[in-house]
Structure 1
């Protein structure tokens, strides 16, 4: 074992000191973010205009920790309506520069503004007249000087007490990237539906893209009986279709009512009901809640919650039953 590093069991932990350290980091980085606000100026607007006018894609690059931040910025931009991808500057000089075209815009990140790997590929980018945006912590740096637009991400101090680990500086660069992404999102009129289309597997995508028609039971899967069906026939249909209810329809499938587990319980509690001779028309609910097939699945969940019900019938414009679903279908689709 390295004699310079004490075993964890021998390290003396001062909870107050740890808390102070954490609060200092948060305060330092918060101050760095606040200092960025006055720098949202003409340069920031010019950067947005360059990206909005881009006929290709935004190519993001950075080395080391700036590269990690660059990857996140590229991912955020791509998911909010700005086509973007990350190119490692080291790989760029070994063939990946072919991924960058004259129709693109390049965004580079470097705290020092003197990153060798970025400076090495700049002449190729400049010869193609590709617009260059630089986010650096040094407005007097080589990268800042060669950029068409420079965004100042300088910080007065790093949160690292040694002044070595990029902390406040990477936070500042990330915030500038987020500011660009959201400003561009709003300028493009990007909507939550657009966001969902690029996140179809996420919860938002499911909530905004999944329709009733995607989850409802159709055809023989719809529980339905005629108004003259007796209680036994209705219960057998409910049991076969496993939705806890059955539609009551006429010969043309127009909805007349719904018979549910709740209607059955109410009938059993009513001494005046002749269960042997009763038809489902006399026991059904005549104004059931329904929904259209083109509505979002999340709207079905909201309707069920509002009215404290567990199943819905799906009808068309002529009030013909075209589908059915229950809360379990929404749970399986991960809408709720």
Structure 2
């Protein structure tokens, strides 16, 4: 393997990834420490799906040939600009799928079966003084999955496995999918007891879950978001949870991270998590392995995953 080189980091890297890169002999320097203007000489940069990389950043790095990006999402990375400049983009698809789908179901139990509320009820010493409130059965309920990509399909399998009736909606039918396709999100929400958001982020889905969709989900409905914060109109969600338009919601993502709208955190019928769905020991190891593998492949001239060449 060629002698290790310096890597440019486009965002703050987790300690485990930094340690793994440094263990390979790489030195790391943050783009935040660099002067403004063009930054020649950098061949490899490391970033993340959430931080992304726009055309202006690619333009600042005239010698860049590889962006290794933690996470599956590509909506914040300008793939057209990367292609035009001959820059490979190695994201980390697939390794997040099963853990993220697990967490969607965990959030659903957290809000519908009130697991989070029940934990707090006992810890607050209320059990000896009050009768616990009833929760909502999931078996036999209708689960609508919005976005049947890898993660959406994994959520659908799990929902079916716990006895829910699954349907889904997305931009195009998938005849191979074993669950019925519903043409529109509005229709899916109307026929669902639980609506799980698994769609990509970006302009096409920004604010797609608005007040109208929440009204269609209805008084007994639950919303679960493991997609992106911007997919949901948070003003409408706050209003719907306050006035009982829907029964409850659970979200792992927010429009403003890591500091969510404080009105959301005051809602007793909302379960929240810190963009945590894929953070397991196993997924972290897999992500690090994919990042290291892509960098090794690039430097050795051997094949590696490149999203700019994906179909």
Instruction: Give the TM-score taking structure 1 as reference length.
Output: 0.28
TM-score (norm 2): 0.29
Higher relative CO (Cα under 8 Å, sequence separation at least 6) belongs to 2
Q: Determine which structure has more spread, i.e. the larger CA radius of gyration.
A: 1
